[in-house]
Amino acid sequence: MTVTAVQKDPSALTMTLDAEFDAPPERVWQLWADPRQLERWWGPPTYPATFTKHDLAPGSRVEYHMTGPEGDQPKGYWDVLETDPPHRLVFRDGFANDDGTPNEALPRNEVRMTIEPISEGRTRMSIKSIFPNTQAMEQILAMGMEEGLTQAVGQIDAILAGERVA
């Protein structure tokens, strides 16, 4: 298994995922730094990504679109916040309008990617993803724990119990 650990914190709406690769840090960094390599994994085979603008300097905007099976081309962008090759990349991933401008109505999430060597030729990559509307999710999830609510709470608990992941 390449994915070695996953931590999900629904109340903070963050997910942290660690993966290990049999490759040096520079090789893993290239998966992000080279747009042609990035295109090989960012989108699923049914929705491959094409990066039309790619510059990882802090403050830059990376632009891409996906191409769906029916020719639909949803657009996305990254706002690069921090770059420290080959160790760290922080960006906000958002959706874009057809003209490429950021779609402010849709949520963005922040991705913090770090790369560190574990041993000769082996590298750990960690992805921490943070959603902006923590409060929203927190409130929704907290509803099951508030006192004095109706029997609906029991129903929510029952539903959530099936979804709770350690």
Partner 1 sequence: MASPDFDRVFGALADHTRRDIVRRAIDGREGVAELAGHYPMSFAAVQKHVAILERAGLVTKQRIGRRKVVRTNLQGLHAARRLLDRYEDLWRDRIDRMTDFITDTRETDT
Q: HSE of 69 in the Cβ direction (CA atoms, 13 Å)?
A: 3
**Does 56 sit near partner 1 (CB under 8 A)?**
no
- Contacting partner 1 (CB under 8 A), which of 88, 143, 148, 166? 143
Yes or no: say if 93 and 109 are a contact pair by the CB < 8 Å rule: yes
Tell me the C-alpha distance between 10 and 28, whole Å.
28
Pick 59 or 109: Cβ nearer partner 1: 109
Q: Tell me the DSSP string of 65-125.
A: EE--TTS---EEEEEEEEEETTTEEEEEEEEE-TTS-B-TTS--EEEEEEEEEEETTEEEE
**Maximal CA-CA distance, the chain:** 58
The correct pick among 52, 82, 101, 106 for binding partner 1 (CB under 8 A) is 106
* Residue span binding partner 1 (CB under 8 A) among the ranges 39-47, 52-60, 78-86: 39-47
Does 129 help bind partner 1 (rule: CB under 8 A)?
A: yes
> Footprint of partner 1 on this chain (CB under 8 A)?
2-3, 6, 8, 10, 13, 15, 17, 19, 21-23, 27-28, 31, 37, 40-44, 47, 66, 74, 76, 95, 105-107, 125, 127, 129, 131-133, 135-137, 139-141, 143, 149-150, 152-153, 155-156, 159-160, 163, 165
